[in-house]
Amino acid sequence: MIDAVLVGCGAMSKAWLDAARQIDGLAIVGLVDLDADRAKARAREYDLGGAVIGTSLDAVLDQTRPQAVFDVVVPAARRDVAFSAFAHHCHLLTEKPLADS
């Protein structure tokens, strides 16, 4: 089983969560967004009642201890997400573009 935390619960997160549903052995254990209500709504929409919801990636990673982070944030936030994921010894799958320039 691979546990993953998804960061960024905006419109593109739906595509990532749809794809995650198709992968046997993958569990979304956390959702992170600057807007906690948006993350909670996405958890309800995708029946992720057991997922940890938060606004701090580091806090959710500390609590869930996943193997992977799915980065669906805006490019300006990617660097911080990557550093947090790597500091917690997680694999990182990130959306493009990697940066604004």
Give the chain's domains with CATH numbers: 2-94 (3.40.50.720)
Examine the pLDDT at 2 and tell me if it is beyond 90.
Answer: yes
CA distance 24 to 43: 19
Region 4-8: mean pLDDT is: 98
Token pair for 70: 């799915």
Residue-averaged pLDDT of the chain: 96
The predicted pLDDT at position 95 comes to 87
* Residue in this structure with the two tokens 């593109």, named with its chain if needed: 12
CA distance 6 to 19: 12
pLDDT tens across 35-44, in order?
Answer: 999 999 999 9
Examine the pLDDT at 33 and tell me if it is beyond 80.
Answer: yes
* Residue in this structure with the two tokens 């300006």, named with its chain if needed: 76
- Tell me, what DSSP letter sits at residue 96? S
Is the torsion defined by CA of 84, 43, 10, 54 positive or negative? negative
* Residue in this structure with the two tokens 């998804």, named with its chain if needed: 6
The predicted pLDDT at position 100 comes to 77
How confident is residue 85, by pLDDT bands cut at 50, 70 and 90? very high
pLDDT tens across 43-78, in order?
Answer: 999 999 999 999 999 999 999 999 999 999 999 999
